[in-house]
Structure 1
Amino acid sequence: METAPTDPITGPATQRGAYPLLLVLCGVALGVSGLPAPLYGIYEANWHLTPLATTIVFAVYAFAALAAVLVSGRISDVVGRKPVLLGALAALIVGLLLFLLAQNIVLLLIARAVHGAAVGSIVVAAAAALLDLRPDHGMRSGQLSGISFNIGIAVAIVSSSVLAQYAPHPLRTPYAVVAVACAIVGIGVLALRETHTTRSAGPIRISKPSVPQAIRADFWFAALGAMASWSVLGVLLSLYPSLAAHQTHIDNLMFAGGVVGITAITAALAQWAATKVPAHRAAIIGDIGMAVSLVVTIPVLSMHSWLLVFGAAALLGATFGLGFGGSLRHLSKVVPADQRGETMSAFYLLAYTAMAIPTILAGWAATHWGLAVVFPWFAVLVALACLAAAGIGARTMRSAVAS
């Protein structure tokens, strides 16, 4: 494999366009993860799926992504970033082809598992490659990755909605178009020189999640904020679009996609605008803001106004961007460099678990009592978790000032 020349001081020689290409790859990967969101309503109608079945399809992605997160970092250390990224891109395209062929829920489950493993691998390997290219800009790379994630989700979901609403074969065309986009990005990755020039020795193993004692309080502050954020994200991408459409009596798929799209875009804008806001403060503001936003969505949905639904989605997105972005930036700042792998494994273990399990529980409850009945209870519980994260954050901030 061709490797980049290495400068003894700065590391791998700069590759023109490599850094933005990796950010685009992150956006495409997360876009693929959200691509089916506007289509779940069609699957439910055509295949008579329950909300529980829909959330299980979504949660399979989260569990597969978690498994990939725990092993892909080590694999990329041993074999290099480029092979992992190319393999994950190939898996993305395979998953899209499975969606194209799907005639029942079994293939949907397989496709989502493949996509979860692929996206988890891309997130970890691309993050490592970004650090290879700019080793002194870890927090900045994390922030730009988060922005690219949200932009990718917004573009994919809005595009999926438009194609499903107006193009022929609504359950086929979105996947075919995105498969072409993945192939184009894959050509760029093929041309990428390997960024990891020093191979790690030893066996490939699962990263053991652990948290250094010295940063336990900071970790739980960041992790609780991420867990609350990702539990919202899970329901937002699986059940919320159909709930918003039902409550506003709007059947156009562009509306359901637009609700998620505006949430993702405002999250990206908030993360960008908060660049100069201290990470700890941004996370606390975001956690409190998410709690308020979630409670606000309850009366908004009962008013059946699409304008208010979009406004609430924008507010939730902005506070989500502050909360999760600030939490991740804060943790990246305090975690010791030699324990980053184990700590981030613990962080993502909790985040993906929070995405999957509450989503499944919400789907189960919605199957029995209806999503319109269940959602207010879910919103209040997650709002309380957000306030708990903010409280821990305020306490750790006072302790830091006192010391």
Structure 2
Amino acid sequence: MVATTQAATRAEQGSRQTWAYALILIASGVALGVSGAPAPLYGLYQQSWHFSALTTTFVFATYAVAALGAVLVSGRISDVVGRKPVLLGAFGLMIVGLVVFLLADNVAMLLIARALHGAAVGATVVAGSAALLDLRPKDGARTGQLSGVAFNVGMAVAILGSAVLAQYAPHPLRTPYLVITVLCLLIAVGMVVLEEPHTARKTGRITIAKPAVPQEIRADFWFSALGVMAAWSVLGVLLSLYPSLAQAKTGIHNLVFGGAVVASTATAGALAQAIAGGVTARRAAIIGDIGMAVTLLLTIPALNTHNWVLVLLAGVALGGTFGLGFGGSLRHLSNVVPQHKRGETMSAYYLLAYSAMAVPTVIAGWAATTWSLSTVFPWFVVVVAVACLGAAGIGLRRNAEAA
């Protein structure tokens, strides 16, 4: 009787708020956009405040560490109290972090702002992913695909928009954050009127989620997790150091070029995920993992040509394969995760993703203080390419076992 009532409530809610699914997708995209918006500005911060590449990676890693904390608790919290309170709290933190960015005049304030954004984005990604599955429980693979597209589109728009505003608008270290704050306020208004999508909430104390996954999907989980770890380790350096490296190698120091390099990568990732819906999730992930390994290696000769067109094209190729790898992994997991374990499973998934983003980024930044970034980058590329091939190997082995 209770289950019937909950199903009826969900159906009634869905008919009243047909826009809820789209709102949460947009919120997820905006959250990832907020995470990437400072990427084109790190060079300006370095010039204005005279800090090193290591400091840049620490600022970036602060975001990732805070996100790790958020994904550990937000899944369980959203399972108990609902998705809406978590999403509202996350956007509140996001807006506070943007205000800190607007007022920032030293590295400490950058660290605070990035910590706030890490917590906000981590909570949004986990609770938002679970909410989308609540709203369309029978469409997990499609939800995973659309989530991946939203993440990449949000990042591409935010990074390119931030670069354009910083290059051509007054107050380059203030204006981009002001524009994004207005957008986040609009999303928050939508969240206020959103009806809770998670009607079958758990009871009990709110605890830190353990990094464990359901036994019945463990092999599928690790295939998806290794794929996203390889992809997000690429993303970490791409957002923190790659724009500066591309500008140094090509001699083009316009902020829009650095932003365009990363934005074109994210756009290609979104397009790849959008058109790969007809490809099975596992196959898309395997193709993407192998493709990331190849295109990562191709970025090295592309950068060494000092030709901006080839650097841009290498980024587009990397983005397309990144989209397949990340999108395929997310689709695969979304399609197999049990309903009663959504929040905790997505927490475990993004815990590994953010760990893979933070650790290689800090190591690369530290190494760049001893050797040049141009020297460090090829070594980083080789290590991540091997990880990508490892993820692909697990997927191929699972295919062979299934056959």
TM-score exceeds 0.5: yes
Query: Which of 378, 385, 403 lines up with 1:376 in the alignment?
Result: 378
Select the residue among 184, 187, 194 that pairs with 1:185.
187
Give matches, 1:339-354, under 5 Å: 339-354=341-356
The corresponding residue for 2:133 is 131
Where 1:221 maps in the other structure, the secondary structure is helix
The letter for the 2-side match of 1:175 is: Y
Query: Are 1:66 and 2:101 an aligned pair?
Result: no
What amino acid is the match of 1:43? Y
* Alpha-carbon contact 1:229-1:320 (below 8 Å) kept: yes
Structure 2 counterpart of 1:277, which letter? V
The whole-number CA distance in structure 2 between the counterparts of 1:186 and 1:342 is: 24
Which segment is superposed worse, 119-128 or 307-316? 119-128
Which is further off, 382-391 or 128-137?
128-137
Distance 1:112 1:235 in 2: 16
1:75 CA displacement: 1.6
After TM superposition, the structure 1 stretch with the greater mean CA deviation from structure 2, 199-208 or 307-316, is 199-208
Q: State whether structure 2 residue 100 is matched by structure 1 residue 102.
A: no
- CA offsets, 1:156-213, max 9 Å, x none? 0000000000001100010011101111111222222222334421111111111345
Residue of structure 2 in register with 1:161 after alignment: 163
The equivalences for 1:163-312 within 5 A come to: 163-312=165-314
Change (3 A) 1:214 1:165: same
CA shift digits 1:316-342 (9 cap, x unpaired): 000000011111222233444444444
- The root-mean-square deviation of aligned C-alpha atoms, in Å, is 1.6
For residues 197 and 350 of structure 2, the distance between their equivalents in structure 1, rounded to whole angstroms, comes to 24
Aligned counterparts of 1:296 and 1:34: Cα–Cα separation in 2: 24
Q: Are the equivalent residues in 2 in contact too, given 1:217–1:392 (CA < 8 A)?
A: no
CA distance 1:136–1:156, change in 2 (3 Å): same
Aligned partner of 1:332 among 324, 331, 334: 334
TM-fit CA distance, 1:268: 0.5
Do the aligned residues in 1 keep the contact of 2:130 with 2:342 (CA within 8 Å)? no
- Residues 15-70 of structure 1 show CA distances to partners (whole Å, capped at 9, x for unaligned) of 13111111111111110000100000001111111111100100111111111111
Aligned 1:139-158 pairs, distance under 5 A: 139-158=141-160
Note the 1:113-124 alignment, pairs <5 A. Answer: 113-124=115-126
Cα distance per residue 1:216-250 (max 9 Å; x no partner) = 44333222211110000000000000000110000
Q: Distance in 2 between matches of 1:336 and 1:89?
A: 27
Distance 1:346 1:132, change over 3 A: closer
Q: One-letter code of the match for 2:363?
A: L
Counterpart in the other structure of 1:43: 45
- Secondary structure of the residue aligned to 1:347 is helix
Superposed CA deviations along residues 257-299 of structure 1, whole A, max 9, x for unmatched, are 0001000011010011110101111111101100000100000
In 1, are the aligned partners of 2:126 and 2:343 still within 8 Å (CA)? no
Q: Equivalent residue for 2:391? A: 389
State the one-letter code of the partner of 1:65.
A
Mapped to 2, the partners of 1:218 and 1:186 lie a distance apart of 35
For 1:54 and 1:38, the matched residues in 2 are separated by: 12
Q: Could you state the TM-score of these two structures normalised by the residue count of structure 2?
A: 0.95
Pairwise CA distance, 1:358: 0.4
**Matching residue of 2:8:** 8
Does the 8 A contact of 1:100 with 1:171 survive in 2? Answer: yes
What secondary structure does 2:18 align onto? coil
CA contact (8 A) 1:6 1:12 kept: no
Letter in 2 for 1:314: V
Distance verdict in 2 for CA 1:331–1:196, change over 3 Å: closer
Indicate the percent of aligned positions where both proteins have the same amino acid.
65
Name the counterpart of 1:358: 360
Q: Which 4+ stretches in 1 moved above 6 angstroms?
A: none
Q: What is the aligned residue count? A: 397
Deviation at 1:350, TM superposition (A): 1.6
The residue type equivalent to 1:13 in the other structure is Q
Contact kept, 8 Å, 2:40 with 2:163, in 1: the verdict is: yes
Q: What is the one-letter code of the residue matched to 2:365?
A: G
Closer, same or farther in 2 for the Cα pair 1:207/1:321, shift >3 Å? Answer: same
TM superposition score normalised by structure 1: 0.95
Displacement of 1:351: 1.2
Distance 1:55 1:324 in 2: 22
In the alignment, what sits opposite 2:317?
315
In structure 1, list runs of 5 or more residues that go unmatched. Answer: none
Mark the CA change 1:377 to 1:167 in structure 2 (over 3 Å): closer, same or farther.
same
Contact 1:99 1:172 in 2 (8 A): yes
